[in-house]
């Protein structure tokens, strides 16, 4: 994808959705951190169902620590890897209280030092909570970046690096939201909706398939 095509690609996505937002539900920076930590290998819909129950009774590090591991684990039972996620979330809350005054840190290093918080989660928090132009790479961003030719790469790290270089500056803060939503609802893993895709004209895979969406992989 050429720089000119990349600009048109994001301008089109922005025109359709000027203010893209995460589909995870949260009402504070801490709730965002907790929701993203819990979202690994789980759907946003499933995480939202669990956090609605959890945040109704414990939505701060102090309250989650007071809740304790058994009760926290029970609140998260409906999502994948819930036992390990409960342990990580509880330990994260303990660290936030002990080292950060109960607040979510704004540095990548401090975020990634929290249990269960990898680079993608840190990038999401930095972007959504603090407005930094980070490029979190999940399965949807990885697929769309490769399929369209926007930022091809064999690993999330290489795709992230490509996005940092190729996303035009005006679109950097919202880019990962547009890519996630596009991958979730249009550029799906199986049977992508190419004929309904507003950015098909800029997509390498679509153009290489000569307009036959069944050939897009």
Q: What is the CATH number of the domain that holds 66?
A: 1.10.340.30
Q: Are residues 126 and 139 in the same domain?
A: no
Burial class (CB in 10 A: 0-12, 13-18, 19+), 121: buried
Catalytic residue flag (residue 138): yes
Which pLDDT does position 73 carry in this prediction?
96
Ramachandran sector of residue 60 (left: φ over 0; alpha: ψ -120 to 50; beta: rest): beta
Q: Are residues 13 and 43 in the same domain?
A: no
Q: Are residues 124 and 34 in the same domain?
A: yes
pLDDT in tens, 52-90: 999 999 999 999 999 999 999 999 999 989 999 999 999
Q: Are residues 125 and 139 in the same domain?
A: no
Compute the distance between CA of residue 80 and CA of residue 91 in angstroms, rounded to an integer: 18
Domain with 72, as residue range(s), is 29-130
User: How many Cα atoms within 13 Å fall on the side-chain side of residue 188?
Assistant: 10
Q: Are residues 141 and 126 in the same domain?
A: no
Which pLDDT does position 92 carry in this prediction?
98
Burial class (CB in 10 A: 0-12, 13-18, 19+), 186: middle
Which pLDDT does position 30 carry in this prediction?
98
Residues of the chain predicted below pLDDT 50: none
3-class DSSP state of 34: helix
Which pLDDT does position 77 carry in this prediction?
93
Compute the distance between CA of residue 172 and CA of residue 177 in angstroms, rounded to an integer: 10
pLDDT in tens, 13-34: 999 999 999 999 999 999 999 9
Which pLDDT does position 217 carry in this prediction?
67
Catalytic residue flag (residue 120): yes
Quote the tokens at residue 155. Answer: 């690993």
Which pLDDT does position 165 carry in this prediction?
96
- Write down the catalytic residue from 85, 91, 120, 212: 120
Distant-in-sequence, close-in-space partners of 196: CB < 8 Å, separation ≥ 6: 186
Which pLDDT does position 215 carry in this prediction?
67
CATH number at residue 163: 1.10.1670.10
Q: Are residues 83 and 171 in the same domain?
A: no
Q: How many CB atoms lie within 10 A of CB 215?
A: 12
Report how many domains make up the chain. Answer: 2
Q: Are residues 120 and 176 in the same domain?
A: no
Distance of CA 207 to the CA centre of its chain: 28
Whole-structure pTM value: 0.89
- Write down the catalytic residue from 87, 91, 138, 212: 138
Q: Are residues 114 and 156 in the same domain?
A: no
Q: Are residues 65 and 141 in the same domain?
A: no
Which pLDDT does position 214 carry in this prediction?
62
């Amino acid at each position: 994808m050429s720089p000119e095509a990349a600009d048109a690609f994001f301008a089109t996505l922005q025109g359709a959705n000027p203010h893209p937002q995460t589909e995870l539900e949260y009402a504070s920076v801490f709730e965002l951190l907790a929701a993203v930590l819990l979202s690994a290998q789980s759907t946003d819909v499933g995480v939202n169902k669990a956090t609605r129950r959890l945040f109704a009774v414990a939505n701060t590090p102090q309250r989650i620590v007071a809740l304790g591991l058994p009760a926290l684990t029970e609140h998260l039972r409906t999502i994948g890897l819930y036992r390990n996620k409960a342990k990580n979330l509880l330990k994260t809350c303990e660290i936030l209280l002990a080292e950060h005054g109960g607040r979510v840190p704004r540095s990548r290093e401090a975020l990634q030092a929290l249990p269960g918080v990898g680079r993608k989660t840190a990038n999401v928090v930095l972007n959504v909570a603090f407005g930094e132009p980070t490029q979190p790479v999940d399965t949807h961003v990885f697929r769309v970046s490769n399929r369209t030719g926007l930022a091809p790469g064999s690993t999330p790290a290489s795709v992230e690096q490509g996005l940092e270089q190729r996303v035009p500056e005006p679109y950097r803060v919202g880019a990962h939201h547009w890519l996630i939503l596009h991958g979730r609802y249009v550029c799906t893993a199986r049977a992508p909706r190419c004929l309904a895709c507003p950015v098909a004209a800029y997509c390498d895979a679509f153009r290489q398939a000569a307009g036959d969406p069944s050939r897009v992989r």
